[in-house]
Amino acid sequence: MDINEPIHEDVHESIEEHYKKDKNAMGTGPFPEVMKKYIDPEDKQVSRWKVW
């Protein structure tokens, strides 16, 4: 994955939805800890656009 290119807005929405449900992309476990740093815990939205 090239982190220099921003990801599509729909992907942000998908990530946020999985975060709110506390499910990984496959729905087989909790939301990955490594991804939580990109989510704002208060409004549950992807908060670090520049990282992507």
Residue 24 DSSP symbol: -
C-alpha pair distances (Å), 49 with each of 6, 29, 41: 7, 25, 15
Inform me whether the pLDDT recorded for 32 exceeds 90.
yes
Instruction: Return the pLDDT at 48.
Output: 62
Q: What predicted TM-score, i.e. pTM, was given to this entire model?
A: 0.72
pLDDT > 70? residue 37: yes
**Is the pLDDT reported for residue 41 higher than 80?**
yes
Phi, psi for residue 21 in degrees, rounded to 5: -85, -10
